Amino acid sequence: MSEQTKPKTAKRDPLFRRKTAIGYKTEEKTVMRGYNLSELAEAGYSFCDAMFVLFQGRIPTEPEEKMLKYEMGEFMEHSMSPSAASAISVIAGRPNLPAAVAAAVMTFGGAHGPGAAHGYMMNKYLDRALAEGKTVEEIAKELVDDYMDNNQPVMGMGQPQHRDGDPRAEPTHVKQEELNIDGIYLRLQRSIEKYFHARRKKEGRSYVPVNCVGAGNTALCDIGFAPNAAWCIGSVVRGYSCAAHAVYTLKKGRAWAASRNEPMVQMLDLSMIKYVGPEDREVPKQGERQEYAKKQKESGEYKKWVI
Amino acid sequence: MGDLNQKNIGNLDSPKLPYDYLTREYGTVPLDKNRPPFQWVSEVAYKNIHRIVARGYDTTELVEEGYGLVDLLFVDFQARIPTEEEEQMLNYIMILSLEDGLSLPAVLARTVAKSKTHLTQACGASILAFGHAYGGYAAFGNRMAQYLERAKAEHKPLSGAAEELVRAHHRDEALGVSDLMLKDPAAKRMIARAEKLGVAGENVAFMKEVVEAAKRLSTSEVDLDMLGATASVMMDLGFTPEAMWTIIAITRSFGAGAHFIEEVEREGFTRLGETLTPPEDYDGPADRSVPPIEERDKHAQPAQAKSLEEWKENFEKRKKLPASGFAIVEEIEDPRNPKKAH
């Protein structure tokens, strides 16, 4: 065999220099928070155990590991949600699969699974309780009042599809209690829910149950994950199911999602467009442009369409 | 509003156009009443107000019964509950896929972090690192399946098929055999674990033959690498090449999330215009004066070629300018054929 068949030697210099407390990699091993990853797997630890090592630098207790296993299992699949819709839309153009999965994970923001925001909110009010000498229950009532007095939605409450209760939420609270890992966060969250329900009832408003962020993120906080770490867990784990939706669409769906040859109207069929913008109008001649543009600007009519 | 069928707009009334553009209709397309309306069609999952159901299983019932993320991956991608050994094996693989130091996914996540974004943007960006060189799981898997299938159809021994594969693809980054793991036993341990758990099958067997063939044919020391171990075991666990590509990329994205957090905590953000590029790193055209715009025609070089020879000459010349794109040739397939068999 000639020299030509020799596999290319990798350039193994670091791409990027950083002091890091997460891990290192040598020719001999990959180490995360001091543990050799291969030895961690050989010793029988689970992937959920490894998540504690990654974000918290510690081996969790068995109930903590069970809680994370439960949470990651329940967070993973949520069928038709913004993340899965993104994955399906992106794969319609047939890019490489990671593009569809990345888009799905990137849909997680302030409305879709705002795990970090919920965590920051809880930490802020717990801090306030400590500083002001208030109980968890008292600060929960203040939190609810602060949000509702300002017409802001209380994070962790309500889900647009599961209108009378996210199927994952209440069982998560119960699981946390069953595993005896209910800490100050669950106490705060339960109190938020209590005052939130009471105030809405008093105001004659409908019942809005706790959602998966309110329940799941609370548990993640109680088992030691910081807001952003918890958000990472919640949003990235959804990537797996979005990948399944993308792969299904890639293999069994029609590229472009607009064909008129499919028996069912497709997602991007032209008839799906409902246009509600300015009515059809003629394009001004360049010779008339300046006068036209000035008049249009002066009328201010365009402002209602500015986005 | 106004004359919507006016004439004389650019070339739109040109007789060279195969249609009369200016008399085309305005307005949206009415709803199609001849076909059922659009619906989310999925074999993977559905939900209603009260339940989330994946492949027929209520996901809350699954986790209450003690199933977890790793089981759910089998449910979503393979529509089945894995055996305990399969679950253990995938757990093992995912631990080894979680972190890889400051390699591409971490670098991308940290780069995005420096711009002060949401963590989810950095995690998404890290997934994009999994191309055909860094994470060639799909290429690897489809090739293994193709050679295995051919060996079976032609009644060839695995060793022969492995040698053919190595000869044809020895330069591919996703061969699964390289000099990357000569001192790190993790890849070989993974195969040994799969065998111990009784989940190793024809893909692991074939991978071992590929390793042996590569060792015979290579002039330098090579061995099984992490891609080869991970992908062959995952295929024996029943995952398709596309499924394993995404599963590994997403698993690494958790690690990338930690890198995002550390970057923000320890390094802070970068503002627009802050980063400098020193001239000693530049090897493009030397600094030159901008010609007056009135003299544009004197300096401008038209790109059009009128003959094949001229086109080829231009093409070769352009290849010499880095970042012009002419030195790269890729095959981007048009996969619009519907419902490909898989």
From A7, A51, A262, residue closest to B178, measured CB to CB:
A7
The CA distance from A125 to the nearest CA of chain B, in Å, is 22
pLDDT at position A5 is: 42
Residue numbers of B between 21 and 80 with CB closer than 8 Å to A: 26-32, 35-47, 49-54, 58-60, 62-64, 67-73, 75-77
pLDDT 10s digits, A177-231: 999 999 999 999 999 999 999 999 999 999 999 999 999 999 999 999 999 999 9
Cβ neighbours of A240 in B, within 8 Å: 69, 72-73, 76, 246-247, 250
Residue B208 has pLDDT above 70, yes or no: yes
B135-149 confidence digits (pLDDT tens): 899 999 999 999 999
pLDDT of B185 > 70? The answer is yes
Mutate one of B246, B263, B334 to test the A interface: name it (highest A CB count within 10 A).
B246
Residues belonging to chain A: 307
The nearest CA of chain A is from the CA of B190 a distance in Å of 8
Lowest mean per-residue pLDDT among A106-120, A144-158, B185-199, B243-257: A106-120
The confidence score (pLDDT) of residue B336 equals 54
Question: Is residue B165 within 8 Å of B147, Cβ to Cβ?
Answer: yes
User: Higher pLDDT residue, A79 or B329?
Assistant: A79
% pLDDT > 90, chain B: 85
Q: Out of B57-71, B188-202, B294-308, pick the least confident.
A: B294-308
Mean pLDDT of chain A: 93
Query: Which amino acid, residue B227?
Result: L
Average pLDDT over residues B320-327: 91
Tens of pLDDT, residue by residue over A109-136, are: 888 877 889 999 999 999 999 999 999 9
Radius of gyration of chain A (CA): 26
Is the pTM here over 0.95, yes or no?
no
* Inter-chain touch A30–B253, beta carbons under 8 Å: no
Average pLDDT of span B37-60: 94
Residue B338 has pLDDT above 60, yes or no: no
Q: Identify the band that residue A1 occupies on the pLDDT scale cut at 50, 70 and 90.
A: very low
**Closest CA of chain A from B303, distance in Å:** 29
Nearest to B256 by CA among A16, A27, A305, A296: A16
- State yes or no: pLDDT of A236 exceeds 60: yes
Q: How sure is the predictor about A7, in pLDDT bands with cuts at 50, 70 and 90?
A: very low
Q: Say yes or no for a CB contact (<8 Å) between A76 and B59.
A: yes
What's residue A4's pLDDT? 41
Of B69, B96, B224, B233, which to mutate for an interface test with A (greatest number of A Cβ within 10 Å)?
B69
- Within 8 A of B35 by CB-CB distance, chain A residues are 262-265
CB-CB neighbours of A84 under 10 Å: 26
**In chain B, which residues have their Cβ closer than 8 Å to the Cβ of A83?**
none
Where are chain B's structural domains? Answer: 15-81, 83-271
End-to-end CA distance of chain B: 52
Task: Tell me if A228 and B175 make a contact (CB, 8 A cut-off).
Answer: no
In this structure, of A2-11, A221-230, B107-116, B257-266, the range with the lowest mean pLDDT score is A2-11
B222 CB within 8 Å of a chain A CB: yes
Q: Which of residues 303-322 of B touch A (CB under 8 A)?
A: none
- Shortest CA gap B290–chain A (Å): 30
State whether B175 and A7 contact (CB < 8 Å).
yes
What are the C-alpha distances in Å from B42 to residues A25, A275, B52, B241?
A: 41, 28, 13, 20
- Provide the mean pLDDT of chain B: 93
Residue B331 has pLDDT above 90, yes or no: no
* Minimal-distance CA residue of chain B relative to A274: B28
B-contacting residues of A 45-74, CB under 8 Å?
45-48, 50-51, 54-55, 69-70, 72-74
Lowest mean pLDDT among A96-100, A112-116, B173-177: A112-116
